[in-house]
Structure 1
């Protein structure tokens, strides 16, 4: 198996890396959507993060990666009680995947050879407790989008067809990437992503040279290259694990809740998902930074990725949604600060 590119070795793309780290700290944030140019490290970052995270414990042979035998679905026919350690699952959902491959379906081989009705798990089962990655997510077929929306809402995959009535947990961090020039994402699916980041090719010569240098070194000898970054990746892993344990204890002042609501009202976001995502992301960042309290600096840092994809289009504003969020944050938090003084 090829050694993944070290997460710490990725040059630049700070917003993308921060967003992925925050979803590792608190998966309830709801995943990450990464839009940008081809060849900017989108898929590399997903696989690098998964390799960076601690391995998961699961019951040997459980098709949904359950940590306890009691959580394995009855249809799985798991015979072992032994717990094994395995890497964090990262499952690719190809654009051409059929619904049966995604959700699971009747095991045709067992049906024909043994006359038994048995369930063959799909990609959603394999992604449970891990990551589901969709490249070119904006080109995904509508019926698969609808399916993902249902599962993302419930955290459970339900298959009712071909004489089967199957349910199993399907909780995963959804990561999608795409090129905006190839089409837009349906609003319903767009809203399901907790954070949205925009990446572009480096514009500085020295940064581009460093990207080439590191990638070339990795391709020449992946194992040796990974060793040079082991210490940095280990340090980052410890920070993530510590933040996971601490996030539930982070204090959230009343003013933080007011800031979230005021900001979303000022931007005109629909519903309350924006406030909840903003709060969870800011709290995760506070935990990652080792802070005890969510502060405005944390809200500022996560406001754009948490809210830019929830804004209604303004054809008269050519600066983009990220710039609109930044302007509103500066104006609103500046006003709060002046009033306090």
Structure 2
């Protein structure tokens, strides 16, 4: 990445008006990447890409092994490439540097080789070494992988992305040669529902599903337009206005990441979450697990220690609405169905 690209200012996350549902889903995934990523569906021109890209400024710099194409973590063997692991076992010295958390944009026309990486078979045969050219999944390790118009991406490629996001590893096999490297990233997809939905079995594998709609309130629309103009006129000055808010939010996120494992949730609440999933005929157990994780991340973000009913109510729609079976004859919104079931089982008003 050249210096010019690196220095391009991003719209401050804390200056974005509205779209609270999407902002919350992104923050919770940054706190606990095991939630499984976010699928954002909304109208054209609602700022989906702007919000996702602005998230990167809230993340702290990460330590990586220098000259390693996989952003290997020098302190965690789970996030190291085989080459770095070998150096450590051989007591070789490794140099460490700090970089900005990676944010990789996946272009719509990307091929599988570009995404996963390629093996140079000729070199492997002639020189007897595994010559691997890393792809976008390697660059995204320990960062965010953003796929705009994910519903227009080839299903096979979406499958590959979801597999890597879930397992934290990418494996490339060709002509009997196999290469494996860490690929642990937060997968964020966005799309316009008019251009078609993802297949249910792919949609289900995104941890959360945020819907964003065009803001109708004229005063808010004017405010958004004014902010955009101010930002474009002088991005650095505009960012300075929100510097304190950005720093506060970044500290909250770092604090939540450190405390996420201390959050408790009662057996009674876990049982009720499972009752809601059962009541809504949600297939598998992903819905149960994601709801529990998201509720804990929310509590950690708000610097508390125990999950309560209100916390679950705030995130359960995001976690379950895309897991319901679609009935073409039904006009009721899936989010509304989730809330109705929740209120009935949790006896919540």
Bucket of the pairwise TM-score, normalised by the shorter protein: over 0.9
Q: 1:130 maps to which residue?
A: 143
Aligned counterpart for 2:320 among listed residues 281, 304, 307: 307
Structure 2 stretches of 5 or more lacking a match?
A: 1-6
- 1:172 paired residue number: 185
Structure 1 stretches (4+) deviating beyond 4 angstroms? 75-80, 107-117
Among 50, 73, 96, the alignment partner of 2:82 is 73
CA deviations over 1:69-97 (Å, ceiling 9, x no partner): 86233299999722111111111111211
Q: Report if the CA contact (8 A) 2:37-2:186 is conserved.
A: yes
Distance of 2:114 and 2:198 partners within structure 1: 22
Instruction: Verify: 1:27 aligned to 2:40, yes or no.
Output: no
Partner of 2:52: 46
Per the alignment, residue 341 of structure 2 pairs with: 328
Q: Does structure 2 retain, via aligned residues, the 8 Å contact 1:32–1:194?
A: yes
Query: Structure 1 residues 247 and 106, CA, compared in 2 at 3 Å: closer, same or farther?
Result: same
Aligned counterpart for 1:282 among listed residues 281, 287, 295: 295
* Matches of 1:123 and 1:54, distance apart in 2: 21
Unmatched tracts of structure 1, length 5 or more = none
SS at match of 2:201: helix
**In the TM superposition, what are the counterparts of 1:34-113 in structure 2 within 5 Å?**
34-68=40-74, 71-74=80-83, 81-107=94-120
SS at the partner of 1:280?
helix
SS in 2 for 1:265: helix
Aligned to 2:205: 192
Q: What is the TM-score normalised by the length of structure 2?
A: 0.90
Asked whether 1:150 is paired with 2:159, we answer no
* SS state at 1:269 partner: coil
Aligned pair count reads: 336
Say whether residues 1:15 and 2:26 are aligned partners: no
CA shift, 1:314, in A, is 3.0
Residue-by-residue CA offset, 1:161-185 (whole Å, 9 max, x unaligned): 1563210011110000000110110
Q: Distance in 2 between matches of 1:113 and 1:93?
A: 33
Q: CA deviation at 1:285?
A: 0.4
Query: So what's the TM-score if we normalise by structure 1?
Result: 0.92
Deviation string, structure 1 residues 96-128 (Cα, Å, up to 9, x no partner)? 111111110035997899896511100010111
| Contact 1:133/1:175 (<8 A) preserved | yes
Quick check: 2:150–2:158 contact (8 Å CA) kept in 1? no
Residue 264 in 1 paired to residue 240 in 2? no
Q: Which residue of 2 aligns with 1:241?
A: 254
